[in-house]
Structure formats: C-alpha cells, structure tokens
C-alpha cells in the first residue's frame, strides 16, 4: 500500500455535488474525527498480533463470520489461521506445469506450446458458507478454482474440464473479485468480475455462475441463465478492443448489501485516452451494481467514483472493504451503526495503474447515499434527462427517453430498464 494514507477525510464529490452549509459541516466533522483519531493513535498504541511468511506474496484474506478463522491466499499457497493468527493449515496450489497460451489447459488436451512450472497466483478467495468450503481461484490452467474443506483445507475438487471452469488466465492479483449469494437448497450463485487481457472470446468480464453442492457437478460454474439472446454475463466487445487494445476492467472488491451485489472496479477511461497506442492511458474507478436476483443483468448500473482533497483528484481505487461504522463514526456521519459503509483507498490521479503515486486517501461512502444517488439518476433518465453513457460496451451514447416509469421503485431489485445499461457521469 502507499506510503501515506489519510483516514476518513476523503468525501466523494459525486454523492453531494452541491456543498451547502450542511455539507460543509459534514466535511468539517469528518476532518475533525480523522484528526482526533490520529492524535489518540499517537497517545496509545495497542499491541497487535501479526503473521508473516517468506517465499510467497499474500494477496487475499477471508475471515469466517462465525468461527473467526482467517484464510489467506498467496502465490502457490493457501493458509488457514486461528483468530489469534496462529498458523493451523497450509495447502499448496503450485507451481503447476502450464502455458498461458494453452486453451484448453494442458490438463485437458495436449498443447503444442512448451510447458514450464508456473506460479499459481491466488486471484479470488471466498467462503461458501452453505457448502462449508473455501473457493480459491488461481491463475494457472486458464483460471480454474479449487474447493477446499474449511476444517483442514482438504481439496474437495478442482473442476477443469469445461469452458465454464476457466475464469481468466490473467496472472496478477487485484484483477478479479467475486461474491457468493446464497440460494435455494444446496445451490448458490457466484457473481464474479475479472480482467481478461484481451481474450473476450474466452472470458466474460462479468458473470453470474452456479455454485453447486457437489464440487464435481457438471453444472458447476455454469451461467445462471442463458438462452439464444440473453445470458448472465457481459463481454467486452471486440470493437472496443480493436479501438483500445489495452482496454480491460480490473475488479478490486466485491460485496453484497441487502438485495444488491456491488463491485469496485478500475478501468481504462476511453473518453480521456486516445486510441493511438502511443497516447498516455488514463484510468477511472467505478462502482458496478446488480440486483442479486437478476439473472439477465438488466439491472446493471455503473458510475464513476473517487475522492478530492485540496483540489486534487484521487481516482485510482487500490483496495476496499465493507463494514459497519461504529458508534463514533456513525454519529459523525449521522447514520445508524447498522448502516453499511464502504471504505475505499484511492491513489492520486488517473495514470500509472500498475505503479500508482505514493500518496493516497482512505475515503468512505455510505451504501444508503450510493443507493439514493443511483435512484435519483435513474429516475431523471426516465424523465428523458441525460444520456445512457457506457462507451466501452455500447461504443456510443444513447439519449435517455421519457418514460411513464419515472417513479419506478426498487421492487424485486429491478428498475425496469430492460437491456439498457446505465452509466452515471461524475457531476
């Protein structure tokens, strides 16, 4: 992480475009709260336990909501720790004989490309509570996943024989995120977003997949819905990749809140970046939202997100976490302690995605405020105001059309937008 992080003082200008007296007080309250906690930290530094490893790079962490057990995903390794960070189990996932150009992977069909030991980078680590198992997805064999028993990390299965089992061959962390949504009986769904490294013919950038009770079930990782015209996935169009060969979407974090699934993403800004390969790339961070029960992705919404401080923009999302505010912060925000709050670390500017500037901000967004902002924008679009702007998917802007559904609510998690995709411009 960056060398400098300022806590709880960055506020997204998107959510409050007009700063009146109330907003000014809100900002001052947060700044004072941040300063106060900093002073307290210097006055009394509590002791913290730590866990360190050598020979690998840790990438992901998951904490069991009931037992407090800690699971860590790194390069070639998955760890299980007790709540006090004592190591309990170690599961090795690599190196694996592989070549990223082999599709399907060499475990399924002989490949003419030369094979070599490849590090297995953990790209996704989450707990499937109904299945009492850990889902650990890596970079080898085109991005297959292992299912590990929570108690001892015993491998229950590693589906790798069907195209649905291959999520993405990108071998860097911070490019994939997912969230499991519990369903009926023994089947849940996995909303997963991933960078694709230009391979749109093989991998969707966003999809909803089945999590069956049996790790070797033929339906495992199949799309939740698919017919001739519509399916539970979004692919980056070939036209977009032709104009911007480096275009990709990096999924930083995923979470569920009430009836919705959210992703914090980082993607190439096609409005600021020149199609000329010699031009300097610009990136922007966005929040993506879907209804958890929407198997056709009609409810897809995305909008830019970022922070400003002293007139400087911070637009490169680096990490995020969903949590509850606690008593003092809840009072400062004027919300309930039960309110979901999204904390996001942003680096300065919109350039150098892989090597961002050292200065960063820790910013917070209440989910209630995000929902209200989305609702207001959707209703304005129903009134014929603004445009449906999603250049990477539509390759054009569509004008909002006046609709009788201007007062549409959130019943069943849907907005009645049909196949239209909505992007909210930073205002």
Rounded mean pLDDT, 148-165: 95
Question: Is residue 47 a contact partner of residue 38, using CB atoms and an 8 Å limit?
Answer: no
pLDDT value, residue 415: 41
Q: At what angle do helices 21-43 and 326-333 cross, to 10 degrees?
A: 160
Q: Torsions phi, psi of 9, nearest 5? A: -125, -10
Is residue 352 packed enough to be buried (19+ CB in 10 Å), middle (13-18) or exposed (0-12)? middle
Rounded mean pLDDT, 199-221: 93
One of 3.60.15.10, 2.30.30.760, 3.30.70.1340, 2.130.10.10 is the CATH number of 1-13+54-216, namely 2.130.10.10
- The residue that leads in pLDDT, 22 or 150, is 150
Question: Is residue 261 a contact partner of residue 292, using CB atoms and an 8 Å limit?
Answer: yes
- State the Cα angle at 58 between 235 and 116, rounded to 5°: 70
E-strand stretches of 282-416: 283-291, 301-304, 307-309, 312-323, 341-348, 359-366, 387-389, 397-399
The pLDDT-based confidence of 10 (bands split at 50, 70, 90) is very low
Give the range among 11-25, 296-310, 409-423 with minimum mean pLDDT.
11-25
pLDDT tops 50 at residue 208: yes
pLDDT tens by residue, 45-89: 677 889 999 989 999 999 999 999 999 999 999 999 999 999 999
pLDDT tens by residue, 171-201: 777 799 999 998 776 678 999 999 998 888 9
Domain residue spans in the chain?
Answer: 1-13+54-216, 236-426
pLDDT tops 90 at residue 158: yes
Percentage of the chain with pLDDT > 70?
A: 81
Phi-psi region of 309 (alpha: psi -120 to 50; beta: other; left: phi over 0): beta
Domain 1-13+54-216 identical in fold to domain 236-426: yes
**What is the CATH number assigned to the segment(s) 236-426?**
2.130.10.10
pLDDT tops 60 at residue 15: no
pTM (2 d.p.): 0.83
DSSP 83-97: TT--EEEEEE---EE
User: How far is Cα 308 from Cα 317, in angstroms, rounded to an integer?
Assistant: 13
pLDDT value, residue 44: 62
Rounded mean pLDDT, 264-292: 87
pLDDT tens by residue, 81-93: 999 999 999 999 9
Burial 30-59 (b: 16+ CB within 10 A, else e): bbebbeeeeeeeeeeeeeeeeeeeeebebb
pLDDT value, residue 173: 72
Rounded mean pLDDT, 159-182: 90
Is residue 96 packed enough to be buried (19+ CB in 10 Å), middle (13-18) or exposed (0-12)? buried
């Amino acid at each position: 992480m960056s060398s400098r992080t300022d806590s709880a003082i960055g506020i997204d200008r998107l959510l409050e475009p007009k700063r009146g007296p109330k907003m000014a007080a809100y900002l001052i309250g947060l700044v004072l709260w941040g300063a106060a906690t900093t002073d307290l930290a210097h006055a009394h530094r509590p002791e913290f336990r730590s866990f360190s490893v050598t020979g690998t790079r840790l990438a992901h962490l998951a904490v069991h909501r009931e037992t407090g057990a800690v699971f860590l995903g790194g390069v070639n390794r998955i760890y299980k720790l007790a709540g006090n960070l004592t190591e309990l189990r170690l599961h090795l996932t690599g190196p694996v004989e592989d070549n990223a150009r082999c599709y399907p992977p060499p475990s399924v069909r002989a490949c003419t490309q030369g094979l070599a030991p490849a590090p297995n980078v953990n790209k996704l680590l989450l707990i499937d509570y109904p299945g009492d198992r850990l889902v650990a997805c890596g970079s080898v064999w085109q991005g297959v996943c292992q299912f590990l028993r929570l108690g001892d990390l015993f491998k229950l299965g590693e589906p790798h024989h069907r195209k649905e089992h291959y999520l993405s061959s990108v071998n860097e962390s911070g490019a994939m995120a997912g969230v499991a949504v519990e369903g009926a009986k023994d089947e849940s769904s996995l909303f997963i977003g991933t960078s694709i490294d230009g391979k749109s013919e093989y991998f969707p950038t966003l999809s909803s997949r089945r999590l069956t009770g049996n790790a070797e079930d033929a339906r495992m990782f199949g799309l939740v819905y698919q017919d001739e015209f519509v399916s539970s996935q979004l692919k980056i169009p070939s036209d977009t990749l032709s104009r911007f060969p480096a275009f990709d979407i990096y999924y930083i974090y995923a979470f569920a809140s009430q009836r919705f699934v959210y992703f914090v993403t980082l993607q190439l800004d096609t409005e600021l970046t020149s199609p000329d390969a010699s031009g300097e790339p610009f990136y922007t961070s966005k929040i993506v939202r879907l209804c958890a029960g929407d198997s056709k992705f009609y409810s897809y919404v995305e909008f830019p997100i970022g922070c400003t401080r002293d007139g400087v923009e911070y637009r490169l999302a680096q990490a995020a976490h969903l949590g509850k505010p606690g008593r003092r912060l809840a009072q400062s925000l004027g919300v309930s302690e039960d309110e979901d709050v999204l904390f996001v670390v942003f680096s300065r500017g919109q350039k150098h995605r892989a090597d961002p500037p050292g200065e960063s901000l820790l910013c917070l967004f209440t989910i209630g405020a995000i929902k209200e902002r989305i609702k207001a924008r959707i209703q304005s679009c129903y009134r014929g105001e603004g445009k449906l702007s999603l250049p990477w998917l539509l390759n054009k802007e569509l004008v909002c059309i006046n609709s009788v559904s201007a007062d549409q609510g959130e019943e069943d998690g849907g907005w009645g937008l049909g196949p239209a995709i909505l992007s909210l411009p930073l205002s």
